[in-house]
Amino acid sequence: MLLKLAWRNIFRNKRRSLITVSSIIFAVLFAVFMRSLQYGAYGNMLKNIVSSYMGYVQIHSKGFWEEKTLDNSFSLSEIEQLKKQEGISYLSPRIEGFALVSFSETSKPVAILGVDPALEKEHIKLDQKVVEGNYFSDTKKGLLIGKGVKEIMKLSIGDTLVFLGQGYQGSMASGAYPIVGVIDLKTPELNKRTVVMTLEQAQELFALPDRVTTAVVGLYHDDWQDAQQETVAAIDTNMLEVMNWQEMLPELRQLISIDRAGGTFVLLILYSIITFSLFGTVLMLTEERSFEYGVLIAIGMEKNKVIIVAVLETIIMAIAGVVAGLFVAFPFVLYFNINPINLSGQMQEVVERFGFEALIPTSLDPSIATTHAGIIFVIVLVVNIYTLQKIKNLNPIKAMRK
Amino acid sequence: MIQASNIHKTYNDGKVKVHALRGIDVEIKEGEFTAIVGPSGSGKTTLLNIVGGLDTPTLGEVHISDTNIAQLSENELIDFRLNHIGFVFQSYNLIPVLTAKENVEFLMLLQKRDEEERNERTTKLLKAVGLEDQINKKPNEMSGGQQQRVAVARALASKPDFVLADEPTANLDSKSTANLLDIMLRLNEEENITFVFSTHDQRVIDRAKRVITVEDGKILSDETR
Ligand SMILES: Nc1ncnc2c1ncn2[C@@H]1O[C@H](COP(=O)(O)OP(=O)(O)O)[C@@H](O)[C@H]1O
Ligand SMILES: [Mg+2]
């Protein structure tokens, strides 16, 4: 009977119920959308790290990050055992070096990246960054040059570049390789100075047999903290250093944490607004209905039962509002996941400087929706404590005097 | 029986003290058909509220059916009202979302009476107030007079010792007033239901069997016809 009363009360005054339910819908929509956008931005940046050259975690010879010379290199056999670790899916060996590259009259210093073609294709999809020519193949060893390098030096596929630089332990690095493809690394900075070759070629060029400067640690999950610990535990840290993306890109880390704090702050404000507006609604509704509550108590309905009816009404409306809110939020979030918001201005510059796309797709993580729907549900219940308190202290005579 | 002795009620309305009742002694027995009469502001509502256990006197004692209601806790008092007193108010008595039938049934549900008894009694009462063909109407689909008749039926549903009605006809036209009075009087005579009601309508006063006149919170006269 109490449920029947609650149910009918909701449908009796449709305007009142609609106000309540729509304020909940709006709250859910806003919180979920905002959070999805924020987590999406954050997640996209991190995803970009993985699909860029960094990876979440890298191993170097100790001191390499401070002084990027080929002398700070290590042998792959030193980290062989890591492949057996549970959270680690692969190790991508690389050589990062520098050299002067010349073609006919022009020459230019470039950053050389020696990679394992198969691994980089599989894990970071380097082949998809080729915009002209081909990716490495067994028959086509050679160079992938950044789009910018091509433009500056006026190169075309098939041209042979001559390299001159310093090799391992003071040796002379020299070699000549043909261009097989042009890659677009999405940022002008990188495009202007990157030349990619196979690991073997780089080892040959720099006279660095069997050695690498960097190993990217590939993870099964995005849980890079665990992976870093696992890595540290499994290798000789007197010889090697293990760095995560936050250590390698402190600026990016800062950017993300500022963004997160800002997001939390905005969310806090949002929730205050939601709480106050819901409270306002509840205040109004309780005032409107105190006469009715007064009659019920006067004729002999215990306050607890009146309270149960009020709570049932609230719960039903909260569920309706939250569920409807999620239904409304879903297409929004989905739309902006498929059509990411394009950053502009300063944000765009900062983000692109790190080599990431200036796009924010919303996150589709369902836990965002459930968390915030849950929080709002709880807020609705908490705000209704006012009604319960009001009923508890209700003097039926005063309530009925109007 | 209701016994109220030396009842005083003072309202502290902000800084002004209102002496709504100033020493009232009254006794109401089963089977009475009593009107409490007096001009507006004389204390009728206050008196009815106090003898009905809705309000507590500032001074004095109220015994309803041998219970000193001052000794009941808040919840006990609500239950006491449920089981001993039927109320009819001036207007907006009914639960708006329930039909006539459900309104009448409501108190019996609170009393946890079984379904058979509820149905039987609801039908009987709605018939007694002449609304057997309106049982599925919601309050807003009925006239003021019909609503007050449902309210009387509801007040009787819990089998109370007394039915207290505060100006039950104040918002009714003369035809509905007469009709409601007919019904109340018949219930009083045929079923020995006790009615105590306040009014300042002379046509209503004329039909009461006992008239208690209050003025300025005191009983001016008390005559049984
Ligand atoms: N809750 C209250 N607070 C303050 N004054 C009240 C309250 N209830 C009644 N009064 C005052 O008490 C007096 C008696 O009121 P009431 O019992 O309602 O009279 P009646 O029903 O005869 O019109 C009036 O002066 C009224 O203003
Ligand atoms: Mg009155």
Q: Coil, helix or strand for A221?
A: coil
Counting ligands in written order, the one closest to the CA of B167 is 2
* Atom nearest to B38 CA in ligand 1: 22
Question: From ligand 2's centre to the CA of B55, what distance in Å?
Answer: 14
What's the CA gap between A392 and A306, in Å, rounded? 9
What's the CA gap between A326 and A381, in Å, rounded? 18
pLDDT at A61 over 70: yes
Q: Does residue B57's CB lie within 6 angstroms of at least one atom of ligand 1?
A: no
> Among A175, A240, A183, which residue's Cα sits nearest to residue A213?
A240
Nearest to B87 among A1, A11, A298 (CB): A298
Average pLDDT estimate for A219-238: 81
Is there a contact between A161 and A177 (Cβ–Cβ < 8 Å)? yes
The region of weakest confidence among A219-233, A381-395, B35-49 is: A219-233
What's the CA gap between B73 and A30, in Å, rounded? 47
Q: Coil, helix or strand for A129?
A: helix
Question: From ligand 1's centre to the CA of B48, what distance in Å?
Answer: 11
pLDDT at A180 over 70: yes
- For residue B78, list chain A residues with Cβ-Cβ distance below 8 A: 297, 300-303
What's the CA gap between A292 and B93, in Å, rounded? 9
Sorting pLDDT into bands at 50, 70 and 90, what band is A27? confident
Question: From ligand 2's centre to the CA of B22, what distance in Å?
Answer: 16
Q: Does residue B41's CB lie within 6 angstroms of at least one atom of ligand 1?
A: yes
> Among A186, A179, A175, A174, which residue's Cα sits nearest to residue A160?
A179
What's the CA gap between B141 and B202, in Å, rounded? 30
Average pLDDT estimate for A343-356: 68
What's the CA gap between B161 and B85, in Å, rounded? 6
Chain A to chain B Cβ contacts (< 8 Å): 56
Nearest to B97 among A12, A303, A304 (CB): A12
pLDDT at A86 over 70: yes
Burial (0-12, 13-18, 19+ Cβ within 10 Å), B101? buried
More confident residue, A353 or A136: A136
Place of tokens 């191993």: A59
- For residue A304, list chain B residues with Cβ-Cβ distance below 8 A: 75
Task: Note the pLDDT of residue B93.
Answer: 86
Is there a contact between B152 and B121 (Cβ–Cβ < 8 Å)? no
pLDDT at A177 over 80: yes
Task: Note the pLDDT of residue A356.
Answer: 65
Task: Note the pLDDT of residue A124.
Answer: 81
Is there a contact between B192 and B156 (Cβ–Cβ < 8 Å)? no
CB contact under 8 A, B83 and A301: no
Q: What are phi and psi of A198, to 5 degrees?
A: -75, 160
What's the CA gap between A326 and B181, in Å, rounded? 56
- For residue A303, list chain B residues with Cβ-Cβ distance below 8 A: 74-75, 78
Is there a contact between A67 and A97 (Cβ–Cβ < 8 Å)? no
Is there a contact between B54 and B62 (Cβ–Cβ < 8 Å)? no
- For residue B107, list chain A residues with Cβ-Cβ distance below 8 A: 299-300
Q: Does residue B49's CB lie within 6 angstroms of at least one atom of ligand 1?
A: no
- Of these ranges, A46-55, A335-344, B158-167, the one predicted with the greatest mean pLDDT is B158-167
One-letter amino acid at B27 equals E
Task: Note the pLDDT of residue A282.
Answer: 86
Give the DSSP letter string of B57-68. Answer: -SEEEEEETTEE
Q: Coil, helix or strand for B31?
A: coil
What's the CA gap between A272 and B150, in Å, rounded? 46
Counting ligands in written order, the one closest to the CA of B214 is 1
pLDDT at A344 over 80: no
Question: From ligand 2's centre to the CA of B126, what distance in Å?
Answer: 27
Average pLDDT estimate for A179-203: 89
Ligand 1 probe mutation, B45, B50, B201, most atoms within 8 A of CB: B45
A298-336, pLDDT tens digit by residue? 999 999 999 999 999 889 999 999 999 999 989 888 888
Q: What is the residue-averaged pLDDT of chain A?
A: 86
Judged by a CB distance cut-off of 8 A, whether residue A68 touches chain B is no
pTM beyond 0.80: the answer is: no
One-letter amino acid at A267 equals L
* Surrounding residues of ion ligand 2, Cβ less than 5 A: B 45
Sorting pLDDT into bands at 50, 70 and 90, what band is A253? confident
CB contact under 8 A, A299 and B83: no
Sorting pLDDT into bands at 50, 70 and 90, what band is A354? low
What's the CA gap between A369 and A356, in Å, rounded? 26
Is there a contact between B62 and B4 (Cβ–Cβ < 8 Å)? yes
* Atom nearest to B214 CA in ligand 1: 22
Ligand 1 probe mutation, B12, B13, B89, B167, most atoms within 8 A of CB: B13
pLDDT at A352 over 70: no
Judged by a CB distance cut-off of 8 A, whether residue B93 touches chain A is yes
- For residue B155, list chain A residues with Cβ-Cβ distance below 8 A: 299
What's the CA gap between A309 and B156, in Å, rounded? 24
Q: Does residue B9's CB lie within 6 angstroms of at least one atom of ligand 1?
A: no
> Among B123, B131, B55, which residue's Cα sits nearest to residue B87?
B55
- Exposure of B180 in the CB half-sphere (CA atoms within 13 A): 29
A278-301, pLDDT tens digit by residue? 888 888 888 888 999 999 999 999
Q: What are the boundaries of each domain within chain A? A: 2-50+252-401, 57-221
- Element (DSSP H or E) covering residue B156: helix B144-157
Average pLDDT estimate for A237-254: 84
* Atom nearest to B47 CA in ligand 1: 17
CB contact under 8 A, B89 and A292: no
- Element (DSSP H or E) covering residue B10: strand B2-13
What's the CA gap between A240 and A232, in Å, rounded? 9
Nearest residue of B to residue A296, measured between CA atoms: B95
CA angle in degrees (0–180, nearest 5) for A100-A105-A110: 20
What's the CA gap between A158 and A317, in Å, rounded? 69
Judged by a CB distance cut-off of 8 A, whether residue B195 touches chain A is no
Q: What does the DSSP 8-state code read for residue B71? A: G
Question: From ligand 2's centre to the CA of A13, what distance in Å?
Answer: 29
Average pLDDT estimate for A25-30: 88
> What is the complex's ipTM, to 2 decimals?
0.94
- Element (DSSP H or E) covering residue A16: helix A14-51
What's the CA gap between A42 and B57, in Å, rounded? 67
pLDDT at A50 over 70: no
What's the CA gap between B166 and B184, in Å, rounded? 14
Counting ligands in written order, the one closest to the CA of B22 is 1
Task: Note the pLDDT of residue A87.
Answer: 78
Percentage, residues of chain A above pLDDT 90: 36
Average pLDDT estimate for A342-347: 72
Spell out where A130-267 has E strands.
130-133, 143-146, 160-166, 172-183, 194-198, 211-212, 214-219, 240-244
Indicate if the alpha-carbon torsion angle A334, A340, A345, A349 is positive or negative. Answer: positive
pLDDT 10s per residue in chain B (225 long)?
999 999 999 998 778 889 999 999 999 999 999 999 999 999 999 999 999 999 999 999 999 988 999 999 999 999 999 999 999 998 888 999 999 999 999 999 999 999 999 999 999 999 999 999 999 999 999 999 999 999 999 999 999 999 999 999 998 999 999 999 999 999 999 989 999 999 989 999 999 999 999 999 999 999 998
Task: Note the pLDDT of residue B16.
Answer: 87
Counting ligands in written order, the one closest to the CA of B18 is 1
Question: From ligand 1's centre to the CA of B43, what distance in Å?
Answer: 6
Task: State both tokens at A357.
Answer: 């796309």
What's the CA gap between A296 and A299, in Å, rounded? 6
One-letter amino acid at A333 equals V
Judged by a CB distance cut-off of 8 A, whether residue B81 touches chain A is yes
Question: From ligand 2's centre to the CA of B60, what distance in Å?
Answer: 21
